[in-house]
Structure 1
Amino acid sequence: MFQNDRYMTCGIKHDINEKNPVTFLLLWNLIDEMEVDENKKDYLQIFVLRAKFDKKNLQEIVHMQEKPPYKKVHRYFTEIPIDAKVYAIDDGEHSTMLLAEEY
């Protein structure tokens, strides 16, 4: 899963990649570096991004999948934290990252 061509929607480009390209690249990297067997990656990866301004621009990313259950929380400091829910979908031929509201 997720070893094919990667695409992003206009929402991802505008709301994530243009505002904070490091966060955009990190989302793909989190899929690549998941601590599960390659054949146990779900076709749908879910990311909940939360900006924690009270903690000096802390970005929190909750990475999840449904089957098999997987959840991992990542935190780091950044100048532009983002609030968003993001899906990454592998349809077998393409991997696409999109905002939840674009689904």
Structure 2
Amino acid sequence: MTRGFADRIPVHIQQVVEAMVEVFVNQSENIGNEVDYLQVFELSVDTADFFSMQAIAHSREEPPYSTTTEFVTDTAITEKVYIISDDYGLEGEVITYLLASEY
């Protein structure tokens, strides 16, 4: 996790992003798909009935995948987040969460 991601993205939104990654990885493994090294999350602000909504759109290129979730929050933000996975074999996998502006 980069400093920009940790500083800019509220903790509860970080947790939602992490949960979305976990669901995605589990679904991919269950159907035999490899997980792309790059996951993209578009965070945007929406409003509904005077409530501030956080929208999170998750996508990847290969194989194509996209999903969106929304929830009410007082700290909705607009940001683009990349999650990059590097598999180092026996040393394990390293996952980096960073803002697109830090790439």
- Specify which of 1, 11, 25 is matched with residue 21 of structure 1: 11
The whole-number CA distance in structure 2 between the counterparts of 1:95 and 1:89 is 6
Q: Does 1:96 align with 2:96?
A: yes
TM-score by length of 1: 0.83
Query: Match of 2:99, as an amino acid?
Result: L
Indicate which of 35, 45, 49 corresponds to 2:43: 49
Compute the TM-score of the two structures, normalised by the length of structure 2. 0.83
Residue identity in the other structure for 1:9: T
- Matched to 1:51, the amino acid is V
Give the number of equivalent residue pairs. Answer: 92
Higher relative contact order (CA 8 A, sep 6+): 1
Percent identical:
36
Cα displacement (A) at 1:51: 1.1
Among 69, 73, 81, which residue is 1:74 paired with? 69
* Cα distance between partner residues in 2 of 1:37 and 1:62: 17
Matches within 5 A, 1:56-67: 56-67=51-62
Q: How much does 1:40 deviate?
A: 2.4
Choose 1 or 2 for highest CA Rg: 2
Q: Which portions of structure 1, spanning 4 or more consecutive aligned residues, are displaced by more than 6 angstroms? A: none
State the 1:79 CA deviation.
1.0
